[in-house]
Chains A and B, each alone.
Chain A
Amino acid sequence: MLFDLLKEMSALNSVAGDENEVRDYIIKKLKNTECEIKTDNIGNLLVYKKGKKAFKNKIMLAAHMDEVGFMANYIDSDGYISISPVGGISPAVVMGRQIRFKSGIIGVIGGKPVHLLEGDEKTEQPKISKLYADIGANSREECEIYVNLGDPAYFVSEYFEFGNGFIKGKALDDRFGCAVMLSLLLNENEYNFDLDLHYAFTVQEEVGTRGAAAAVYNVKPDMALVLEATTACDVAGVSGEKKVCVLGGGPVVSFMDRGAVYDRELYDLAFKIAAESGIKCQTKTQIAGGNDAGAIHKAVGGVRTIAVSAPCRYLHSPSCVLSAEDCKQTLALTEKLIVKMAVL
């Protein structure tokens, strides 16, 4: 079920401020469950699943619904569309691709051909501000029939399995986290938690973990478990600590990143559970990146927070790559961790 959910959600288009598609999908999936569902003012989807009893610690799980994408910020008189990234995107993964605008129309992002480059241009990576989408329009008026200023746009990218147990798709950051949460919510028999659980499907993470700030205020948990896809740099030419974490190394439980110092007791607990259950577990070998934990841990008088992530290559590109085994193990660790966290 985890992978079916992941595949379906990877195909949905939701950037910060425009999370409707993913939110509506989740609401639809939860239709026949007995959860309390509400959407808060900023667009977070807050789900409460009542357990058999209340436990000592109120726990909130969090994953963000938004992916990195683009916005049309200007249409010139020839019908070319200037785009800006919504979230952090490297210009190298933008040029030479197709993006799909809200209306469904696809534009290609090309540029001055390599043969015509002069001097420094030959080794330069053009900035996103110099790139534009071409839908084949000849004028601004023609373009505006299909694309308006402010329209979001998304990478066009097919989800598929490849190699020996690997998955590629767009938006796996953080549809993976959402898929884990949905798996826990929908799998009645497997995850029939005794405890009450709050699930926050947050918005606007990619533009500053904003939804999480509102979500944590609305839920006021004692503890939070953030589910993410986190950056793995275990690619050719990278060695040692620069890999950050590795695919095949199991779920990533970080002690610190640029947004949060994680709760040490929860961190140790995660590794203890992993060791006892035969789950491979790793930490990040660089202090880098950040996620909703950054907003959550310091809100409402303090929330003890941990993040459990699947290591993911090529983050913030159309081709995020996860290991299927890591995904399964991340779900397994999460389920065991929640149960122990509740009674800490």
Chain B
Amino acid sequence: MIESLCKTLCGVPGVSGAEFPASETARLLLSEYMPDAAVDPFGNVTGSLIIDKNLPSILLDAHIDEIGMAVTYIEDEGFLRIGRVGGLDFRVLPAQTVTVWASLSDKPLKGIVCTLPPHVAEDAQKAVKEADVAIDTGYSKEELEKLCLPGDRITVDSEFIKLLSGRISSHSLDDRSGAASILYALGILKGKGHKDLKYNIKVVFTAQEELGGRGAIIAAYNAAPEYAISVDVSYGLQPGTDERKAGKLGKGAMLGISPVLDREMFLSMKRLAEENDIPYQIEVMSRLTGTNADEIGINRGGVRCALLSLPERNMHMPVELLQISDIEAVGKLIALYLEREAV
């Protein structure tokens, strides 16, 4: 179920600031658990399950936007110039196949990121810079002007695939996998008939996280929760990273400790995981977390926040990689947390 949720969510575009297709897909999936699921004017997907007005409210958050590019200019010879949207990794762009979500065209355009071959390339040691990136759509300037507009988003194509050890790889697992974990948790709770819930649940799949948590600021204000659990991806151990900074794939949910996160919630989460044999690991961040939790925590009069992260390799590349059992661990932990008295 988790694999198919991730595959569905990763299969629709939703670059920061232009999330609609992904937001709508996520809304549809959320509506199975929250009939009031909606998309706000900023692209945030919202929903709620009010059990009892005396219960505290908790916001479950993941971001629905993905990094990408936007068309900025059409060269005379027909090549598109771009601007990055979010923290794109330029090292992986040359010769990639991309999709240009051309707003005036009846279907999206295919393009290739221009590059020079090894026979003539000047400096193979240096990664391409944003100003030098161009997209070849096979159209002339005149043709392109009828098909696309500045601001049209561009995503890198990569097939969603399954690897060994229950691992999956795709673009946008950051943070559609987080959204999947929340949907999975809601599924567990629905399956139990919402019996033991200790919170009114609000959900947001936010827009524009990659631009600085902007959707979260808006959505948290509107949801006005007392507590929040954010789910995002964090670094997974791989060559070049070290154990001190990365979680291990397969070792479960990364529970966040940070000066900006609520320590009581962390401790409660940890106890729950231990009591229920849910695999977990601990992620210590001595400053801001770099996730929506940073924005949600200072919303209105303040929100008590916890952060659960998924260890992920190759962050911000078209080949992001996670383990399904870690997504499952996060989902199960969220479901259990919602059935335990608030701290």
Residues of chain B within 8 A (CB-CB) of A318 are: 95, 97
Knowing A95-B91, A314-B95, the reply to whether A319 touches B319 (Cβ < 8 A) is: no
Question: Are B134 and A237 in contact, CB atoms less than 8 angstroms apart?
Answer: yes
Query: Is A321 an interface residue, CB under 8 A from the partner?
Result: yes
Q: Residue-by-residue, is B213-239 near A (CB-CB < 8 Å gives 1, otherwise 0)?
A: 000000000000000000000010011
A26 CB to closest chain B CB (Å) equals: 26
Q: Enumerate chain A residues within 8 angstroms of B301, measured Cβ to Cβ.
A: none
Set B140, B159, B161, B166: member contacting A164, Cβ < 8 A: B140
Nearest to B131 among chain A residues (CB) is A237
Contact with B along A84-118 (1 / 0, CB 8 A): 00001111110111100000001111111111100
A316-B117 in contact (CB<8A):
yes
Stretch at the interface among A57-65, A136-144, A275-283, A335-343: A136-144
Cβ contact within 8 Å between A96 and B240: no
Contact present for B163 and A288 (CB under 8 Å): no
Question: Is the Cβ of A231 less than 8 Å from the Cβ of B161?
Answer: no
Closest-CB distance, A239 to chain B (whole angstroms): 9
Closest to A318 in B: B95
Among A90, A135, A242, the residue within 8 A (CB) of B163 is: A135
Known: A108-B169, A164-B138. A90 touches B120 (CB 8 A): no
Contact A288 B136 (CB under 8 A): no
User: Is B239's CB under 8 angstroms from A80's CB?
Assistant: yes
CB-contacts of A106-161 with B (<8 A): 106-116, 123-127, 132, 134-138, 142, 146, 156-158, 160
> When the two chains form their complex, are residues B115 and A314 in contact, meaning their CB atoms are under 8 A apart?
yes
The winner among B120, B128, B241 for most chain A CB atoms within 10 A is: B120
| A96–B96 touching, CB < 8 Å | yes
Which residues of the partner chain B approach A146 to less than 8 Å between Cβ atoms? 164
Interface residues of B in 130-174 (CB under 8 A from A): 132, 134, 136-140, 143, 156, 158-159, 161, 163-167, 169
User: Which of B97, B143, B156, B316 counts the most A-chain CB atoms under 10 A from its CB?
Assistant: B97
Q: What residues on A are CB-neighbors of B95 within 8 Å?
A: 92-93, 314, 317-319
A114 touches B79 (CB 8 A): no
Is the CB–CB distance between B89 and A113 below 8 Å? yes
Report yes or no: A125 in contact with B126, Cβ–Cβ below 8 A. yes
- Report whether A317 and B126 are in contact in the complex, using a CB–CB cutoff of 8 Å: no
Chain B residues lying within 8 Å of A316, measured Cβ to Cβ, are 117-119
Determine the chain B residues whose CB is within 8 A of the CB of A286 once the complex forms: 120
**Is there an interface contact between B138 and A98, defined as CB atoms closer than 8 Å?**
no
Interface residues as binary, B310-341 with A (CB distance below 8 Å gives 1, 0 otherwise): 00011111111100000000000000000000
Q: How far is the CA of A110 from the CA of B317 in the complex (A)?
A: 7
| Of B91, B96, B127, B139, the contact of A319 (CB 8 Å cutoff) | B96
Known contacts A123-B127, A162-B110, A97 near B319 by CB under 8 Å = yes
Tell me whether A168 and B110 are in contact in the complex, defined as CB-CB below 8 angstroms, given that A124-B125, A235-B116 are known contacts: yes
Question: In the complex, A111 Cα to B321 Cα: how many Å?
Answer: 11
Question: Does B81 sit at the interface, judged by CB under 8 A?
Answer: yes
Is the C-beta of B272 less than 8 angstroms from some C-beta in chain A?
no
Q: How far is the CB of A245 from chain B (nearest CB, A)?
A: 12
Pick the contact of B121: A90, A110, A160, A234 (CB < 8 A).
A90
A314 to B117, Cβ gap below 8 A?
yes
Question: What is the distance, in angstroms, from A82's C-beta to the closest C-beta of chain B?
Answer: 10
A116 proximity list for chain B (CB < 8 A): 235, 240-241, 245
A interface footprint on B246-275 (CB within 8 Å = 1, 0 otherwise): 000010000000000000000000000000
Interface residues of B (CB under 8 A from A): 75, 77, 79, 81, 87-89, 91-97, 109-112, 114-121, 124-129, 132, 134, 136-140, 143, 156, 158-159, 161, 163-167, 169, 235, 238-241, 245, 250, 313-321
Known: A113-B89, A162-B109. 8 other contacts (CB 8 A): A96-B89, A97-B318, A108-B161, A110-B321, A111-B91, A111-B238, A125-B124, A138-B165
